[in-house]
Chains A and B, each alone.
Chain A
Amino acid sequence: MRRVALIAVPYLWLLALFLVPFIIVLKISLSDYDLSIPPYSPTLDLSSGWEGLKSFFGALDFENFTFLTTDDLYWKAYLSSVRIAVIATFCTLLVGYPIAYGMANAPDHWRPTLMMLVILPFWTSFLIRVYSWMGILSTEGYLNQLLIGMGLISEPLTILNTNTAVYIGIVYTYLPFMILPIYSTLERMDASLLEAAEDLGCSRIEAFWLVTFPLSRNGIIAGCFLVFIPTIGEFVIPALLGGSDTLMIGKVLWEEFFNNRDWPVASAVAVILLLILIIPIILFQRNEQKQREAEG
């Protein structure tokens, strides 16, 4: 009985916070746009009994999903989101790996401080931090002032409202998600492995590629998924830092909901997005599982 109760807690949690909202969204995605409150039909009316239920289900269809295929805006937005997410994840890895490596090789008494510095930005509002990037990247921003002041450029660079600004924003925001898993695999690595590699004829660089890098693979995979998955659906960063040509599905979703007030189409976009994300999520879980097995 106690075991059932124990297992029931996480399942109830999932049911309440994931499954129920998802079913609601799924239902809306199968409905039709309507000028009413809520802005879709049909709505479930239990007072008319069995007949009402039948007509309710009869009115649900895949019209909105078909609509998504007719306008190339949607699949282009999905594709562009995936592309931006892939590139941004890769950039985050390029920036995050050296930081994680440096942290793992720092003297013991420095590590808690460095860890703190990585986590610290989380303690302030995400929105404010993205806003502050607008101040840095705009044409009159700090970055341009600095570069002009140093005489490196004569004309200010246009960074804000381009994809570059979006990449900078994503790398900045999600960097800790990349650093922490990589750091944890690097930190656990036995230092004598590198000595052994050197002893057997590796240069320092070869030892890194043949030993350190493959052994941190699980951390890299975990970090990449942790960055990639939320980035695909990212809305705030492209909305604030991106330009009119920055096409991301999160922005499309927002516009459908709040500008067009077309909830059914917006819900369909969200359902497809979830289906796209399920694949990397499953791969991520498998990686974690494999890692646990290898260690167990």
Chain B
Amino acid sequence: MFMIFGIPGPLLFGQLLLGLINGAFYALLSLGLAVIFGLLNIVNFAHGALFMMGAFCAWMLLEYLGIGYWWSLLLAPIIIGAFGIVLEKVLISRLYKLDHLYGLLLTFGLAMVIEGLFRNQYGSSGLPYRIPPSLQGATDLGFMFMPNYRGWVVVAAAIVCFVTWAVIERTRLGAMLRAATENAPLVQSFGVNVPRMVTLTYGAGVGLAAFAGVLAAPIYSVNPNMGSNFIIVVFAVVVIGGMGSILGSILTGFGLGIVEGLTKVFYPQASSTVIFVVMAIVLLLRPNGLFGRV
């Protein structure tokens, strides 16, 4: 067996792959955050709670209506996205004219309320959600035992990330969205309904979080704290990638997953801190983030 830095090669490859899987979740979540921040200027601290709601939505669809994983993957983002639209219309839209801090406080408070309600109802041990039959089992890759479901997560996340990026950067709709963030009154004067577009964008960002939640449900137990475990890391990812940069958040998400995976091999105690160390270094050297516009 060959060794790299005193670690068996197969083990290292295994960890890189696992890092990529975690990175897929970071990328999906930070993508939603970046979209919302880029277009709405709202630091959406409720993102973790909405991710958790996505997972719970999948669980409820199965438990109460007998709707399985694949339909949930489609339905949960729509349902939770609709919930996001209501949130935006009723609460968040009132804060656009104020400082970022107000949006942050509101969404942080919302996250606590939502998580508290779920905790009250379902406890914190978590609820089991089974891997769909077609993705059960695992493949022996030689260097590691790869659960098929995790492989699917990477593929699904990569596709969704690419599609989102393409829509925003390469389509007419995306161009209008980007134009609206630069100069909303001007775009409105061309007959585009900017407030509606902003509302739908928030709904889409929330839908992305819910999609990640459904993907996560079979891996982690569906529990009210699952979002708060992720959210701080995901914010660090967004900051490192550059606030509002779509491509930056995708690449940084996958990249930091790998950095974290490697830390788990060499010094597990630091695995929860390493991302913040990277964040501090990046902020010192490039305050706008790796991909941020200066």
A and B physically associate: no
Mark B residues whose CB is within 8 Å of A.
none
